[in-house]
């Protein structure tokens, strides 16, 4: 991890975003971990674009990180990799995923997920996150390791493909929403070049599935988005904007062919 940049978000002090930033500030700085998921997406976009209920992280060693958390703060509760942290009279749920999966699984989807987690941890950037309330007071301020936009695009593509077969298939809408927003904000070419350079195997998998979902099956993808993510921001996404993600697949294919 490198750099100490500053990113500002607008959210109330009692929001999930502000409380999550405060909770994550209590994670040990000397343990390798990275923030992924919706909160990381909001940080990269510079705005909260949809509802979210918790924070997601990946740790090089889940067991070691959780042991440190509980040892440092007995009020932290841990169960099956899920962490509950008390913050200002409320609680914050944080999912801590382990890097694990060595050797890599043979199943293509699980393998892509394992590689994407490694890419996210390896390329994480430590940045100062400041959450400001409507009255301009500071609701939260912390230095956190954040997944890069290309890493989040990789993780969101994997989630989009895996989600329909998971315990929460309805969340596929938010995966698509995040993916479209990230690509639109950073640009398909920039992300495609970075993803291809990060890991060719993962890049090829992403290109194939983005091409399928946003090319051949775009109507199905849009239906998933609008049916399962009822947020105003998701409903406002135009068909052309969503279809534009297919450019990402073209860029990756071109980069891998060089």
Per-residue pLDDT of the chain (258 residues; tens, 9 = 90+): 444 568 999 999 999 999 999 999 999 999 999 999 999 999 999 999 998 989 999 999 999 999 999 999 999 999 887 899 999 889 999 999 999 767 788 899 999 999 999 999 999 999 999 999 999 999 999 999 999 999 999 999 999 999 887 778 888 999 999 999 999 999 999 999 999 999 999 999 999 999 999 988 888 899 989 988 988 889 989 898 999 999 999 999 999 998
Per-residue pLDDT at 79: 87
Residue reference for tokens 């942290």: 85
Same domain, 128 and 156: no
Per-residue pLDDT at 4: 55
Number of domains in the chain: 2
Of 186, 117, 123, 208, the closest CA to residue 156 belongs to 117
Same domain, 126 and 153: no
DSSP 3-state assignment of 249? helix
Same domain, 255 and 173: yes
DSSP 3-state assignment of 220? helix
Per-residue pLDDT at 232: 87
Same domain, 185 and 249: yes
Same domain, 38 and 96: yes
Same domain, 94 and 158: no
Q: Which domain holds residue 115?
A: 1-147
Same domain, 128 and 178: no
Q: Sheet holding 90-98: strands in order across?
A: 2-10, 125-132, 138-146, 33-36, 55-59, 90-98, 82-87, 77-79
Same domain, 123 and 1: yes
- The number of helices, as runs of H, and strands, as runs of E, in the chain is 12, 8
Phi then psi dihedrals of residue 143, to 5 deg: -100, 115
CB 223 within 8 A of CB 258: no
């Amino acid at each position: 991890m490198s750099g100490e940049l500053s990113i500002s978000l607008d959210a109330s002090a009692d929001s999930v975003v502000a409380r999550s930033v405060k909770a994550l500030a209590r994670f040990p700085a000397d343990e390798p971990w990275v923030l992924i998921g919706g909160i990381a997406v909001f940080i990269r976009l510079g705005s909260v674009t949809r509802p979210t209920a918790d924070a997601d992280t990946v740790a090089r060693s889940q067991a070691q990180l959780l042991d440190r958390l509980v040892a440092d703060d007995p009020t932290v509760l841990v169960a099956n990799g899920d962490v509950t942290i008390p913050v200002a009279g409320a609680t914050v749920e944080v999912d801590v995923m382990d890097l694990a999966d060595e050797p890599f699984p043979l199943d293509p989807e699980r393998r892509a997920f394992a590689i994407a987690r490694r890419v996210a941890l390896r390329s994480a950037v430590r940045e100062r996150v400041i959450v400001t309330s409507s009255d301009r007071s500071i609701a939260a301020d912390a230095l956190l390791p954040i997944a890069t936009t290309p890493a989040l695009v990789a993780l969101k593509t994997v989630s989009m493909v895996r989600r329909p077969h998971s315990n929460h298939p309805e969340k596929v809408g938010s995966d698509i929403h995040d993916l479209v927003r990230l690509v639109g904000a950073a640009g398909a070419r920039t992300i495609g070049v970075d993803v291809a350079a990060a890991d060719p195997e993962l890049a090829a998998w992403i290109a194939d599935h983005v091409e399928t979902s946003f090319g051949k099956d775009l109507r199905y993808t849009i239906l998933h988005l609008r049916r399962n993510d009822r947020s105003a921001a998701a409903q406002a996404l135009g068909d052309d904007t969503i279809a534009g993600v297919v450019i990402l697949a073209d860029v990756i294919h071109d980069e891998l062919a060089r």
